[in-house]
Amino acid sequence: MKRLVTLVALLLFGFAAVPSAFADAPVEGRIGRAEVRYMEGMIDHHQMAIDMALDCLARTDVSDSLTEVCNAVIEAQQPEIEQMQAWLLEWYNIDYSPLSMAEMTDDEMSDMDHGGMNMSGMPATDPPMMMGMFAGFNRLEGVEYEVAWFEAMVDHHDDAVHMSERLLERDADQQGHADLRALAQDIITVQTDEINSYEELLLAFENR
């Protein structure tokens, strides 16, 4: 009898330990579609941040502190892009790559600006978000550029936080992939901290 109770307990523990979605299995229905939208959207979103970071690293008129921040953005977000690409392929058989703004042709930029197709082959519903990240940057230098960069990145991080919160709300019953929920929560935590740090830097600029 004791052995039977132990076996039942082990089986129950095993079922409790099984994740809500198998590691390599797609999630059906609305949760699955939400996961795909989130990963594709966040890959593009991260690529925009990397493009901004590369823009600042290409300049010679920025401070060492901004250079350090830009390097940190690339080091944090490039691996996350690669992880989400791997999950899309493993879970949903989707081979997805972002299109860097720096790699876009003039025609592609024009299409984006006039409501053309975005990287997913879907209508570009918000091209101003894509293009506005760099609005006026080429006219700014030194401190003015740094202030504009931090302001743009605060808004950009805020979007990432809200995207992640929406995914967690959609999957409140934890029917999706636990790894993706963990990444979304990490993005919320890390990028909220970075927003607070950037706001402190902006306040320091104002008090000079």
Domains and CATH numbers, the chain: 24-206 (1.20.1260.10)
pLDDT value at residue 65: 93
Mean pLDDT of the chain, nearest integer: 82
* pLDDT tens string 32-64: 999 999 999 999 999 999 999 999 999 999 999
pLDDT value at residue 1: 54
Cβ–Cβ under 8 Å, residues 38 and 176? no
* pLDDT tens string 90-105: 999 999 999 876 565 4
**Reported pTM:** 0.78
Q: With 90 as the cut, is the pLDDT of residue 112 above it?
A: no
Q: With 60 as the cut, is the pLDDT of residue 86 above it?
A: yes
Instruction: Report the alpha-carbon distance of residue 59 to residue 140 in Å, rounded.
Output: 11
- The distance between the two most distant Cα atoms of the chain, rounded to a whole number of Å, is 80
Instruction: Report the alpha-carbon distance of residue 186 to residue 164 in Å, rounded.
Output: 9
Spatial CB neighbours of 20, under 8 Å, sequence gap ≥ 6: 174, 175, 176, 177, 178
* pLDDT tens string 3-19: 544 444 444 444 444 44
pLDDT value at residue 75: 98
Among residues 99, 76, 94, which one has the least CA distance to residue 39?
A: 94
Calculate the CA dihedral of residues 129, 88, 71, 66 and round it to 10 degrees: 20
pLDDT value at residue 116: 41
Tell me phi and psi for residue 117, to 5 degrees: -100, 140
Tell me phi and psi for residue 123, to 5 degrees: -55, 135
Cα dihedral 149, 107, 123, 180 sign: negative
Among residues 122, 192, 123, which one has the least CA distance to residue 154?
A: 192
